[in-house]
Amino acid sequence: MKKITKQKDWGVSYGQLVKQQFFKGLFNRISLSFVMLLFVFAIAAPLVANDKPYAIQIDGQWEFPLFAALTANDYSVFLAAIVAVVLFFLFRRNSKKVDPFLRPSIMWRQAVICSVVLFAGIVTFQILIPKKLNATDYKFMLETGRATNAVFAPVPYGYARTDIKLRHLPPSAQHWMGTDDVGSDVFCRLLHGSRVSLSVGFVAVGISSVIGIFVGAMMGYFGGKVDFIGMRLVEIMMAVPTFFLIITIVAFFPRSLLNIMIIIGITGWTGNARFIRAEFFKLRGQDFVQAAISLSLPLRSILFRHMLPNGIAPVLVNITFGVAGAIFIEAALSFLGFGVAPPTPSWGQMLSLSLSTTGRFFWWLTLFPGMAIFLTVTAYNLVGEGLRDAIDPKLRKAV
């Protein structure tokens, strides 16, 4: 790799300054680590909590039922996680080793290769891995002595187990967080439920920020009629009580996770659009944007290379709060019974089980899912708060 300049001549970018500022706060670090830990557990949930053993010897033959039982979706999630980690380390290496002037094209190439790998992998998994039901009870096989030498996951229960005999058990050594009304292990369901919460937060906010940024950018840059129509659209969206709209829509459409994500996404973009619009109005008159126009740079570059990085800060903060909000909305929907269809677990739905039809109150069914929602939402809010402080211009010299 050709280097133009020595490393000591590399400038400090705004992103790096924000990062430094962010990592100064202890609570910022704690809450970010917590969120990252959640992600690790959500991704690894089927490996951590599964009623199938990693390995088992049946009639003297070694089998690996857990890996065989994983669906194409599970493998896609693993691949995505691996690609994300690889990209993270590649980018980190780039920022230390590759000359910044040459960096964008290299990073672009790496990102393209990674996404091609990811896409190809997902397609292959979906084609090659068949959907199959494995209802074999390996524990029963162990007890009967047909199988030996089994290695189980740390939480050896399936999230869809139903066993009337084991319902409403309080926390114990076998069931760390007790069991629910159909006898499922609460901890297992909690781990699997984190997938729902985190993906709702991510995808819904992804959708809303893409729409918000695009609409806001158009309104702010072009102004005039575009701005007028856009603002009326925003006002109409804001006048509608979002939660009731979501409930209504969810009632019409099939109960799937994707639908919930999309609905939360397309109702939540107004805040982002207004932030970006305000920033773009301000930036439109700045000399460096005028300079970009006068150098006849393409509109795409002016909007997304010159203006967006300068106006994105408040939206980034809003996005982290938005993730917390989306998690909350999903939990509320599930609590009311409009969420994902059982047996897929979700935190809100689990919370709703704490009051059984007999009127008895099971504290562990309230405490653990409730804490999960509370801690996750709090962590995201703290990250957002930390980010807001980090980008606050008052805390730093003029950048």
Partner 1 sequence: MQTNQQKLLNVENLKVWFPVRRGLFRKTVGHIRAVDGVSFDIAQGKTLGLVGESGCGKTTAARSIINLIPATSGRVRFDGRNIAKAGRKELHKIRREISIIFQDPYSSLNPRMTVGSIIGEPLKVHNIASGSELTDRVESLLKRVGLSPAHINRYPHEFSGGQRQRIGIARALCLEPKLVICDEPVSALDVSIQSQIMNLLKDLQDEFGLTYLFIAHDLAVVEFVSDFVAVMYLGKIVESASAEEIYKNPLHPYTKMLLSAIPSPQPERRTKSGFVAGEIPSPSNPPSGCPFHPRCPLADAHCAAQIPSLEPKADGNNHFVACWKSSAAK
**Binding residue for partner 1 (CB under 8 A) from 37, 104, 151, 378?**
104
Concatenate the DSSP letters of all residues of 144-178 into one string.
HTSEEEEE--SB---TT---GGGTTPPS-SSSTT-
CB of 106 to partner 1, least distance (A): 12
123, 291, 355, 395: which one binds partner 1 (CB under 8 A): 291
User: Which of 37, 236, 293, 355 lies at the binding interface for partner 1 (CB under 8 A)?
Assistant: 293
Q: How far apart are CA 305 and CA 119, in angstroms?
A: 26
DSSP letter assigned to residue 60: T
Binding-site member from 106, 113, 297, 367 for partner 1 (CB under 8 A): 297
Nearer to partner 1, 12 or 127 (CB): 12
DSSP, res 393: G
* Residue 106, token pair as written in the block: 């290299």
Strand runs labelled E in the chain? 55-58, 61-63, 147-151
Interface size with partner 1, residues (CB under 8 A): 35
Give, as ranges, the residues between 347 and 386 that touch partner 1 (CB under 8 A): none
Q: Does 282 sit near partner 1 (CB under 8 A)?
A: no
CA distance 183 to 159: 10
Is 288 among the residues that bind partner 1 (CB under 8 A)? Answer: yes
99 binds partner 1, rule: CB under 8 A:
yes
Does the protein bind partner 1 through residue 1 (CB under 8 A)?
A: no
Interface region with partner 1, contact rule CB under 8 A, candidates 143-151, 253-261, 262-270, 296-304: 296-304
Query: To 10 degrees, what angle do helices 363-391 and 186-222 make?
Result: 30
Task: Kindly list the distances between the CA atom of residue 369 and the CA atoms of 81, 199, 373, in Å, as whole numbers in the listed order.
Answer: 25, 17, 6
Q: Report the C-alpha gap between 223 and 300 in whole angstroms.
A: 17
Instruction: Write down the least CB distance from residue 6 to partner 1, Å.
Output: 7
**73 is a contact residue toward partner 1 (CB under 8 A):** no
Q: 145, 224, 298, 359: which one contacts partner 1 (CB under 8 A)?
A: 298
Cis check for the bond before 343: say yes or no (omega within 30 of 0): yes
- Our finding on whether 10 is near partner 1 (CB under 8 A) is yes
Q: Among 225, 232, 213, which Cα is nearest to 277's?
A: 213
For residue 267, give both structure tokens. Answer: 């109702």
The answer to whether the CB of 346 falls within 8 A of the CB of 163 is no
Residue with smaller CB distance to partner 1, 99 or 385: 99
Binder of partner 1 out of 134, 148, 149, 301 (CB under 8 A): 301
Is residue 262 a contact partner of residue 229, using CB atoms and an 8 Å limit? Answer: no
Contact range with partner 1 by CB under 8 A, out of 219-227, 254-262, 292-300, 361-369: 292-300
Beta bridge partners of residue 155, listed in sequence order: 49
398 touching partner 1, by CB under 8 A: yes
Identify the residue among 54, 84, 100, 214 touching partner 1 (CB under 8 A): 100
- Which is closer to partner 1, CB of 59 or CB of 287? 287
- Nearest approach in angstroms of CB 11 to partner 1 is 4
With 0-12 / 13-18 / 19 or more C-beta atoms within 10 angstroms meaning exposed / middle / buried, residue 77 is buried
3-state helix, strand, coil in the chain (%, to 5): 70, 5, 25
Determine if 295 is a binding residue for partner 1 (CB under 8 A).
Answer: yes
When asked if residue 167 is in the footprint of partner 1 (CB under 8 A), the reply is no
Which range binds partner 1 by CB under 8 A, 137-145, 171-179, 306-314, 345-353?
306-314
- At 62 the three-state DSSP class reads strand
- Token pair, residue 325, equals 């909000």
- Work out which of 20, 140, 305, 355 binds partner 1, going by CB under 8 A: 305
For partner 1, the closer CB: 122 or 297: 297
Q: Which residues contact 397 (CB under 8 A, 6 or more apart)?
A: none
Q: In what order do the strands lie in the sheet with 147-151?
A: 61-63, 55-58, 147-151
Q: Which of 306, 336, 388, 389 binds partner 1 (CB under 8 A)?
A: 306
Cβ closer to partner 1: 15 or 342?
Answer: 15
Residue 151 touching partner 1 (CB under 8 A): no
Q: Does the footprint of partner 1 cover residue 20 (CB under 8 A)? A: no
Which residues are near partner 1 by CB under 8 A?
2, 4-6, 9-14, 99-102, 104, 286-288, 290-298, 301, 305-306, 309-310, 397-399
